[in-house]
Amino acid sequence: MNSPNSKNWLLLVLLLLGFAGVWQLQQQIDRERAALHQERDELVLRSGKLIKAMSLEFAPLMADIYWTRVVQYYGDKRARHDPNFELLWPLLDITTTLDPNLLVSYRFGSTFLSEPSPRGAGHPELGIELLERGIKANPEYWRFYEDLGFIYYFELKDYAKASAAFAEGSKNPDAQIWMKIMAAKIAAEGESLATSIFLWTEVYQTAKDPKVKENALTHLQLLRATQDCKQLDALADEFQKRTGRRPLRIGELVQAGLLSSLPVDPMGYAYVFGPDGRTELNLDSPLLEQQLLEKDQK
């Protein structure tokens, strides 16, 4: 008669062989999809509960494998400028079902889901659903409320819910004091340049994923350019009061003593006046493409 230990080892070997087979099959599908540039993505297994049942005590390890797959999938889509992120939610669903305590998968996964195309899947409602799942499984982790506030503020423009998310997170004794400040600020002002800069600075300083950090930096550069343009327009208004006409070039503000030197955007390109006399980014500035993309998404 076989001993219980022998049966356990046999079961473990069969499980490992099964996972190896699934993994090889998934890799083959990936290769074929890349070669054929198929429009639709497919998963061999879409049920997180089924995979968790099959994984037994190895579920956390499988969660790490699937999270790695999420990051690779997202990075590959971004690199190829492919707007089809169909697999993102199923992969994240499986990952968080396998390990409900894998905090990083909720934080960055919700960002990947919520970012508008082509930076992400363009589904903030799924990002919110993922974070709410994370809050339910990890109620002591206040950062999820921070991420929830970001989505409501930036993607959905729902300032009441953004304020409520920051306020709820601020109740955690471990939460930073700025959570309560942001709750009050958003409730009072809604969207403002200063608030947006504050939030994106927080994202940039805390993000671990290089794509998320790069995205935050781009937003900060655009916000800085917006600030500069407002200030230059105010100086142009002053120039008009003095001379009775609108300046044609930024250099005229320098000649009039309103500026000490020609101002440049965060990428080092000089600002210009547009046909309407308002300050604009230089046509050569790499920020212009990002600015136009942001306007298209609003």
Stretches where the chain sits below pLDDT 50 are 1, 32-33, 35-44
Q: For residues 211 and 112, give the distance between their C-alpha atoms in angstroms, rounded to a whole number.
A: 10
- 3-class secondary structure, 245: coil
HSE-CB of 39 using CA atoms within 13 angstroms: 0
Q: What is the pLDDT of residue 48?
A: 64
Question: Per-residue pLDDT tens for 165-189?
Answer: 999 999 999 998 889 888 988 887 7
Closest CA to 271 of 212, 241, 229, 222: 229
Burial 69-97, CB ≥16 within 10 A → b, else e? bbbebbeebbeeeeeebebbbbbbbbbbb
- 3-class secondary structure, 283: coil
Q: For residues 282 and 289, give the distance between their C-alpha atoms in angstroms, rounded to a whole number.
A: 11
CB 71 within 8 A of CB 87: no
Q: What is the pLDDT of residue 167?
A: 94
Q: What is the pLDDT of residue 210?
A: 83
CB atoms within 10 A of CB 132: 14
Q: For residues 267 and 270, give the distance between their C-alpha atoms in angstroms, rounded to a whole number.
A: 9
Q: Which tokens hold the place of 32?
A: 């074929």
Q: What is the pLDDT of residue 36?
A: 38
- 3-class secondary structure, 254: helix
Q: Which residues pair with 273 in a beta bridge?
A: 279
Q: What is the largest CA-CA distance in the chain?
A: 103
Q: For residues 130 and 100, give the distance between their C-alpha atoms in angstroms, rounded to a whole number.
A: 11
Domain ranges in the chain are 10-215, 225-296
CATH number of this structure's domain 10-215, picked from the four choices 1.25.40.10, 3.40.630.30, 3.40.50.880, 2.160.20.60: 1.25.40.10
Closest CA to 271 of 238, 228, 240, 235: 228
Q: For residues 225 and 281, give the distance between their C-alpha atoms in angstroms, rounded to a whole number.
A: 8
